[in-house]
Chain A
């Protein structure tokens, strides 16, 4: 009896797989493993519009109801930059006699560093809750779950991009008002900006996928994350400059996933030089590495998400 039934099952299997249609699905048991890559990414690409619309409508709902609306997206990092600038200036001037190092160039440094850092921080923060917040959707529809962290990164990018022109305006204003500020003339190195944004996107998406997966299993992940994020910010060259690191201390820059990328951004905009090769290679390694590790972790676990929500 048993053998007959298994035979019947296998003939059906072969007959079906012969006329493999897009609408034909076979779901089989697995524990932890990767889904078939080609259909996965085909389906992902087919639904790319969903990721964009999800972040767009989400941003609209979150930011267009308050009186200042979308202006907060720019105002918030700007005000925080001023807060940090005052904080660092006050602390430093009390310990040092000459406060000349904290001029306009330093404010500009904090601005570009913080704006850039917020891109990664938002990707991580919004990305971490993307799967748990999309619970109803995850429970009711089958789609590549990676669209959810991708959408979070798109949200963060849409929040980041408007801050760049704001920075440029302040940059030019600073140069015009204070010719001795030490800010460089705008040159070719600025063209590296899109490359760095691309690398940051990889880092942000990788981290978003890692924390989104952790969040499904451990609901207190984002509580830890808020402290990790704060310490991480202080360890990154945002409030301090890369040239403060000497000798073996420089390793701090390279073991920090965003260290060299933010460092490169500062090199371009504050020092007016091309980012050095080692820093760019390190950034590339972190970006690709996190993307691969995060992607594999996420995809191998995502079919388990629906039972965990």
Chain B
């Protein structure tokens, strides 16, 4: 068992290693800066999720102890990474690597438990759940509400709506139908259309391209290339290595909340794929 001071120095040593490994970017050119970001949370499966549970816990020792035992999940563990403006960054990693959590933190949805995140520019998110928070409302209402929540004015949303609808190109009439009637592909199309039309400086895309058909994938790739040419920053989480290699000029590999490798997309995806085949023992031996 290590003492506290040992643990800290170990953490810092790891941090230094990562810092040396990651590119140092001039502050003026920084789009997203992550400084030793940790995100912890308690899984919500414990007995005390209900008032009843809490009240019973007051005099029931077993329940109280059960609460104490609840594990703290460390979704992101000390990630330090600078993402420069105009970069197309691909993040790869196995399920549960903390990629989506990190994306949410960059979007300001989750706060880090430790560390610091600096974001320069307007962020538009297309996260795994996508758009359409209320399935009873039409696609149009969801787009409008999403835009308003993002801070656009009613006029701006109205102006963008036609463009969004045209890009999403849903089957006739679906835009006015409740979103619960949409197929997952239609969800994906509309979500992507909204995200890219919000004039983002930084676009965060989380596994969203997977639902579209081939034609729409091509269209979204074109749109992303267009955004890249306008010096926007894009962060993509994807399990499609082809997309990462084709689109990105920078890549990172996360595993169990830690940043394992950072660099050229081809190299990163290659070592990630090698790891997937070899299994976990290899990554332990891997130099950070």
Q: Are B27 and A12 in contact, with the CB atoms below 8 A?
A: yes
Asked whether A57 and B148 contact (CB < 8 A) given A12-B27, A24-B120, A26-B118, the answer is no
Render B100-115 as a binary contact track against A, CB cut-off 8 A, 1 for contact. 0000110111111111
Task: Assess whether A136 is interfacial by the CB under 8 Å rule.
Answer: yes
Task: Assess whether A47 is interfacial by the CB under 8 Å rule.
Answer: yes
Task: Assess whether B225 is interfacial by the CB under 8 Å rule.
Answer: no
Task: Assess whether B251 is interfacial by the CB under 8 Å rule.
Answer: no
State the main secondary structure of chain A at its contact with B.
Answer: helix
Alpha-carbon distance between A16 and B54 when the two chains are bound, in angstroms: 44
| The stretch of A1-9, A119-127, A170-178, A188-196 that contacts the partner chain | A1-9
Alpha-carbon distance between A221 and B53 when the two chains are bound, in angstroms: 12
* Range for the number of chain A residues in contact with chain B: 35 or more
Q: Are B120 and A141 in contact, with the CB atoms below 8 A?
A: no
Q: Are B41 and A307 in contact, with the CB atoms below 8 A?
A: yes
**Chain B residues with CB under 8 A of A46:** 151
Alpha-carbon distance between A2 and B201 when the two chains are bound, in angstroms: 33
Q: Are A50 and B111 in contact, with the CB atoms below 8 A?
A: no
Q: Are B149 and A147 in contact, with the CB atoms below 8 A?
A: yes
Q: Are B146 and A137 in contact, with the CB atoms below 8 A?
A: yes
**Chain B residues with CB under 8 A of A221:** 51
**Chain A residues with CB under 8 A of B41:** 307
Task: Assess whether B154 is interfacial by the CB under 8 Å rule.
Answer: yes
Render B121-132 as a binary contact track against A, CB cut-off 8 A, 1 for contact. 111010101111
Task: Assess whether A180 is interfacial by the CB under 8 Å rule.
Answer: no
Task: Assess whether B16 is interfacial by the CB under 8 Å rule.
Answer: yes
Q: Are A306 and B109 in contact, with the CB atoms below 8 A?
A: yes
State the main secondary structure of chain B at its contact with A.
Answer: mixed
Task: Assess whether A66 is interfacial by the CB under 8 Å rule.
Answer: no
Asked whether A61 and B136 contact (CB < 8 A) given A50-B149, A308-B44, the answer is yes
Render B193-235 as a binary contact track against A, CB cut-off 8 A, 1 for contact. 0000000010000000000000000000000000000000000
**Chain B residues with CB under 8 A of A27:** 105, 108, 111-112, 116-117, 119
Q: Are A25 and B111 in contact, with the CB atoms below 8 A?
A: no
Complex: chain B residue closest to A148, CB-CB: B149
Task: Assess whether A29 is interfacial by the CB under 8 Å rule.
Answer: yes
Alpha-carbon distance between A137 and B38 when the two chains are bound, in angstroms: 23
A20-79: which have CB < 8 Å to B? 21, 23-30, 43, 46-47, 49-50, 53-54, 57-58, 61-62
Q: Are B108 and A25 in contact, with the CB atoms below 8 A?
A: yes
Q: Are B108 and A43 in contact, with the CB atoms below 8 A?
A: no
Asked whether A50 and B54 contact (CB < 8 A) given A139-B109, A142-B109, A219-B49, the answer is no
* Range for the number of chain B residues in contact with chain A: 35 or more
Asked whether A140 and B109 contact (CB < 8 A) given A12-B33, A220-B50, the answer is yes
Q: Which among B120, B130, B145, B154 is the interface contact of A54 at CB below 8 angstroms?
A: B145
**Chain A residues with CB under 8 A of B154:** 49, 53
Q: Are B50 and A142 in contact, with the CB atoms below 8 A?
A: no
**Chain B residues with CB under 8 A of A15:** 27
Q: Which among B15, B118, B137, B150 is the interface contact of A25 at CB below 8 angstroms?
A: B118
Q: Are A218 and B35 in contact, with the CB atoms below 8 A?
A: no
Task: Assess whether B133 is interfacial by the CB under 8 Å rule.
Answer: yes
Task: Assess whether A224 is interfacial by the CB under 8 Å rule.
Answer: yes
Render B162-180 as a binary contact track against A, CB cut-off 8 A, 1 for contact. 0000000000000000100
Q: Are B112 and A29 in contact, with the CB atoms below 8 A?
A: yes
**Chain B residues with CB under 8 A of A219:** 49-50
Q: Are B137 and A28 in contact, with the CB atoms below 8 A?
A: no
**Chain A residues with CB under 8 A of B113:** 29
Task: Assess whether B144 is interfacial by the CB under 8 Å rule.
Answer: yes
Render B77-121 as a binary contact track against A, CB cut-off 8 A, 1 for contact. 000000000000000000000000000110111111111111111
Q: Which among B50, B105, B131 is the interface contact of A218 at CB below 8 angstroms?
A: B50
**Chain A residues with CB under 8 A of B125:** 140-141
Alpha-carbon distance between A168 and B24 when the two chains are bound, in angstroms: 71
A273-309: which have CB < 8 Å to B? 303, 306-308
Q: Are B149 and A61 in contact, with the CB atoms below 8 A?
A: no
Q: Are B116 and A28 in contact, with the CB atoms below 8 A?
A: yes
Q: Are A23 and B121 in contact, with the CB atoms below 8 A?
A: yes
A30 to chain B, nearest CB (A): 6
Alpha-carbon distance between A207 and B42 when the two chains are bound, in angstroms: 27
Alpha-carbon distance between A2 and B8 when the two chains are bound, in angstroms: 11
Alpha-carbon distance between A9 and B131 when the two chains are bound, in angstroms: 36
Q: Are A139 and B129 in contact, with the CB atoms below 8 A?
A: yes
Q: Are B52 and A16 in contact, with the CB atoms below 8 A?
A: no
Q: Are B151 and A47 in contact, with the CB atoms below 8 A?
A: yes
Asked whether A140 and B151 contact (CB < 8 A) given A29-B111, A29-B112, the answer is no
Alpha-carbon distance between A303 and B146 when the two chains are bound, in angstroms: 19
Task: Assess whether A185 is interfacial by the CB under 8 Å rule.
Answer: no
**Chain B residues with CB under 8 A of A50:** 145, 148-149
The 10 closest A-B pairs by CB, nearest first: A136-B133, A50-B148, A142-B108, A137-B133, A27-B117, A220-B50, A307-B41, A25-B119, A218-B51, A57-B141
Supplied contacts A49-B154, A139-B129, A143-B150, 8 more A-B pairs, CB within 8 Å: A12-B30, A23-B120, A28-B115, A29-B115, A57-B144, A140-B127, A141-B109, A218-B49
Task: Give 17 CB contacts A-B under 8 Å.
Answer: A12-B118, A24-B118, A24-B119, A25-B119, A27-B111, A27-B119, A28-B116, A29-B116, A58-B134, A61-B137, A136-B134, A137-B149, A139-B104, A139-B127, A143-B150, A218-B49, A307-B41
